[in-house]
Amino acid sequence: MITVQKNKIKLDKSDIVVKGFAYIFIALFALACLIPFILMVSTSFSTENLIRKSGFALIPKGFTTYAYELVFRNSKQLLGSYVVTIIMTGGGTLLGLFIISMTGYALQRKDFPFRNQISFYIYFTTLFSGGLVPFYLLMTKYLGLKDNYLAVFLPLLMSPWLIILMKNFIKAIPFEITESGKIDGAGDVMIFTKLILPMLKPALATIGLFLALGYWNEWYNSMLFLSASVEYRPLQYHLYKIVNEVVALKNSVAGSNVPVTSLPLETLKMAIAVVATGPIILLYPFVQRYFIAGITIGAVKG
Amino acid sequence: MKKKKAAGYGRQLTFWQKVYKYRVLLLMCLPAIIFFLIFSYIPMPGAYIAFTNFNYAKGIFRSQFIGLDNFKFLFTSGKITMLTRNTLLYNLAFILFGNTLQIFVAILLNEIRSKYFKKITQTLMFLPYFISAVLVGLLVYNLLNYDYGFVNSIIKALGKTPVKVYANKYIWPFILVLVNLWQQTGYGSIVYFAAIMGIDAEMVEASRVDGANAFQKIRYIILPSLKPTIIILLLFAMGGILKGNFGLFYNIIGPANSMLFPSTDIIETYVFRTMMNNFNFTQSSAVGLYQSVFGFAVVMLCNWVVKRIDSEYALF
């Protein structure tokens, strides 16, 4: 769009007030959303001494890439964390999408006699749960998944909410398509993969983004199930450790021949935060179009 | 199963005939069924641990049954009351202020005509939604810590004494609500924005012709049209009023700053600390079970209300 379309009806005074207020308020709110990020990036490029003297600021103080050099100089652990996170995010998103869309398809088929029972079976898990302790004991004591990446990977594969969202997306596809596939002699698997899946792009983008966010931002299950003996922690848990434990921070740059006392703690934290967060934020613009349409469809009729 | 393929229509099929006929669709659901069986249903009977004197070596069901003893302490010490109060009040504030701001933002976004402006600001407002709770905690620390925090460096630049935010338990309810608004508003406003887009354009035009100004348009056309969406979303949110946002509280307050706990400890953080730091499995699970049962009752109540308002939106 090149020019802003002119309203046919003339704007009166109240319109100008409301619109003016809208532009100002939205701009300020968007800015407030952005400022902490600017602060983070600016700090990561600042000189530690100046930060200690006069605090964080929006413009880097004494521009330097020293913190990043430290982060990458001994990058084995960070690289390992990246690999673990990328494999989990990629694998989990694909596998999750596959299972969720398959289930969603079956559950919205009007001719499937078990759809209500299975839907309720899935939905009920949001209403009542055994709580954290039984879950923790199941994973560690009975399934033996302590210090196993599967303990982090598996619980994030799907959620009742994502299955319901997918079901609602597929519902919007006319049943005649399934019907016509049947008449042509296609089986359920064929109908699903050849006819339904190609029509599900917005749904796959939306739910895929939710899954990817879940995996990329995962730190909770890691904190529960991965002990210090796991060398390559998922990225956000790596960040968590570094933020909360000076020891972990020292280890993460150990061997880079920097005396521990002279470590630029504050700027280093921020540099790692930038490195750990960057990719998922950069992903968003590519899926934004589908995503906004996606949550709208899914949320209106839950 | 070697049953003959059931001849289709008009005849009632037995259960196993149905299973056979729809075996492919059932198989498609099977991974999800197994998933929820393992991660949700199998732990449920484990809540029994709350009634035992749990011994790790013996396991949950061989440990000694001690009735309600684990609950007694929680209730007599007032711990449960405090946790419930904090969880309820925080969620109430999140829901009320959150939805109000979301509606407000959605209405204002609707007034904006410039596509670029709308797209850029919407993207920026989404940004906080995409980051991990760990980073949220870190960003809050950047802003508020005593030594180098952004807020305090401004206060210092103005020649005033900096504030020890992390030592003041009265400030945190406000900060936590603000952080929650910061993170959720962009995302939450989309549903309301979509509802506004769904309003009949002719109705808006007609009000214009009748001489309604911009305020009257919002007051008499947009807000009433949003009413059903607002009521349903509020009621659903109320259903989860006992479920706390663990990541937010745990990363911002941390596991050790007990000075702030009276005003910032919620059920989730207490359950987690009691289990992971004190290894007190029984007390932790007692609080967890209390939350599950009480939460279940609240959802049922909310669903009942939704059903009375508009049965189409009811969960079941």
Residue B87 in any domain: the answer is yes
The one-letter amino acid code at B228 reads P
B38, B49, B142, B205: which to substitute to probe chain A, counting the most A Cβ within 10 Å?
B142
Residues of A in contact with B214 (CB under 8 A): 12, 14-15, 17-19
The ipTM of this complex is: 0.86
Q: What is the dihedral of CA B153, B156, B161, B166, to 10 degrees?
A: 0
Q: Is the pLDDT of residue B66 over 90?
A: no
Q: In the predicted model, what is the mean pLDDT of residues B89-109?
A: 94
Please answer yes or no on whether B285 and A236 come within 8 Å at the CB atom. Answer: no
Task: Give residue B42's pLDDT band: very low, low, confident or very high (50, 70, 90).
Answer: very high
Structure confidence by residue, pLDDT tens digits, B112-143: 988 899 888 988 998 899 899 999 999 998 88
Nearest CA in chain A to B24: A188
Chain B positions in Cβ-Cβ contact with residue A58 (cut-off 8 Å): 150
Pairwise CB contact (< 8 Å): B137 & A243: yes
Is A21 at the interface with chain B, CB within 8 A? yes
Q: For residue B151, count other CB atoms closer than 10 A to its CB.
A: 16
Do the domain assignments include residue B297? yes
**Residue numbers in B near A133 (CB within 8 A):** 46, 49, 271, 275, 281, 284-285, 288
Q: Within 13 Å, how many C-alpha atoms sit on residue B69's CB side?
A: 10
Residues of chain B in contact with residue A160, where contact means CB-CB under 8 angstroms, are 36
Confidence class of residue B198 from pLDDT cuts 50, 70 and 90?
confident
Q: How many CA atoms lie within 13 A of B111 on its CB side?
A: 24
B39 in any annotated domain: no
A47 close to B148: Cβ distance less than 8 angstroms:
no
Which single residue is written with the structure tokens 């019907």? A179
Residue B99 included in any domain: yes
pTM of the model: 0.87
Q: Give the per-residue SS3 of B252-307.
A: HHCCCCHHHHHHHCCHHHHHHHHHHCCCCHHHHHHHHHHHHHHHHHHHHHHHHHHH
Indicate whether B42 belongs to any domain: no
Q: Is residue B3 pLDDT above 50, yes or no?
A: no
Q: What is the domain-level CATH number for residue B272?
A: 1.10.3720.10
Please report which confidence band the pLDDT of residue B299 belongs to, taking 50, 70 and 90 as the band edges: confident
Residues of B within 8 A of A17 (CB-CB) are 214
Question: Are B71 and B157 within 8 A, CB to CB?
Answer: no
Does B11 fall in a domain?
Answer: no
Chosen from A1, A15, A132, A226 to mutate, greatest number of chain B CBs within 10 A: A132
Summarize the confidence of residues B73-85 as an average pLDDT. 87
> Mapped to the 3 state alphabet, what secondary structure does chain A carry?
CCCCCCCCCCCCHHHHHHHHHHHHHHHHHHHHHHHHHHHHHHHHCCCHHHHHHHCCCCCCCCCCCHHHHHHHHCCHHHHHHHHHHHHHHHHHHHHHHHHHHHHHHHHHCCCCCCHHHHHHHHHHHHHCCCCHHHHHHHHHHHCCCCCCHHHHHHHHCCCHHHHHHHHHHHHCCCHHHHHHHHHCCCCHHHHHHHHHHHHHHHHHHHHHHHHHHHHHCCCHHHHHHCCCCCCCCCHHHHHHHHHHCHHHHHHHCCCCCCCHHHCCHHHHHHHHHHHHHHHHHHHHHHHHHHHHHHHHHHHHCC
Instruction: Give the pLDDT confidence score for residue A260 in this predicted structure.
Output: 57
Contact A216 B132 (CB under 8 A): yes
Identify the residue among B5, B29, B226 best suited for mutation to test binding to A, counting A beta carbons within 10 A and taking the highest. B29
Identify the band that residue B278 occupies on the pLDDT scale cut at 50, 70 and 90: confident
Give the three-class secondary structure for B201.
Answer: helix
- Taking alpha carbons only, the member of B183, B246, B130, B134 closest to residue A234 is B134
Q: Do A158 and B32 touch (CB under 8 A)?
A: yes
A271 neighbors A249 (Cβ within 8 angstroms): no
Task: Determine contact: A189 vs chain B, CB below 8 A.
Answer: yes
**Parallel, antiparallel, or unpaired for β B64-65 and B52-53?**
antiparallel
Question: Any CB–CB contact under 8 A between B294 and chain A?
Answer: no
Phi and psi, residue B108, nearest 5°: -70, -40
Question: How would you class A285 by CB atoms within 10 Å of its CB: exposed for 0-12, middle for 13-18, buried for 19 or more?
Answer: exposed
Q: Which of the two residues, A10 and B48, has the higher pLDDT score?
A: B48
* Closest chain B C-alpha to A23 CA, distance in angstroms: 7
Domain count, chain B: 1
Mean pLDDT along residues B23-49: 92
Helices A76-108 and B23-36 cross at an angle (nearest 10°) of 140
Query: What integer pLDDT is reported at residue A283 of this predicted model?
Result: 79
Q: Which range is least confidently modeled, A218-222, B150-154, B291-295?
A: B150-154
Q: Which of A10, A13, A26 to mutate to test the interface with B (most CBs of B within 10 A)?
A: A26
CB contact under 8 A, A135 and B39: yes
A29 has a chain B CB within 8 A of its CB: yes
Tokens, residue B175: 């900060």
| Series of mean pLDDT values for 10-residue runs along chain A (302 residues) | 49 85 94 91 83 75 81 82 94 96 91 90 89 91 91 94 88 85 88 88 88 93 89 90 74 60 76 88 78 66 42
Alpha helices in chain B (DSSP H): 15-21, 23-36, 69-76, 79-111, 115-126, 133-144, 150-157, 172-197, 201-209, 214-217, 223-239, 246-253, 261-264, 267-276, 281-309
**In 3D, which of A242, A245, A227, A250 has the Cα closest to residue A74?**
A250
Q: Is A50 on the interface with B (CB under 8 A)?
A: no
C-alpha B168, offset from chain centre: 26
Residue B152: list chain A partners with CB under 8 A.
55
Domains of chain A: 13-64 (no CATH), 74-300 (1.10.3720.10)
A86-95, B60-69, B78-87 — which is least confidently predicted?
B60-69
Across B278-286, average pLDDT? 87
Domain of B131, in residue numbers: 73-313
Q: What is the CA radius of gyration of chain B?
A: 26
CB B272, CB B115: distance < 8 Å: no
Q: Quick one: pLDDT band at residue B4, thresholds 50, 70, 90?
A: very low
pLDDT at A250: 64
Which of B194, B118, B184 has the alpha carbon at shortest distance from A26?
A: B118
Residue B65 in 3-state DSSP? Answer: strand
pLDDT value of residue B93:
94
The rounded mean pLDDT for chain B is 86
Is B109 among the domain residues? yes
Q: Which of A11, A254, A17, A273 is nearest to B138 (CA)?
A: A273
Q: Let me know if residue B28 belongs to a domain.
A: no
pLDDT at B2: 42
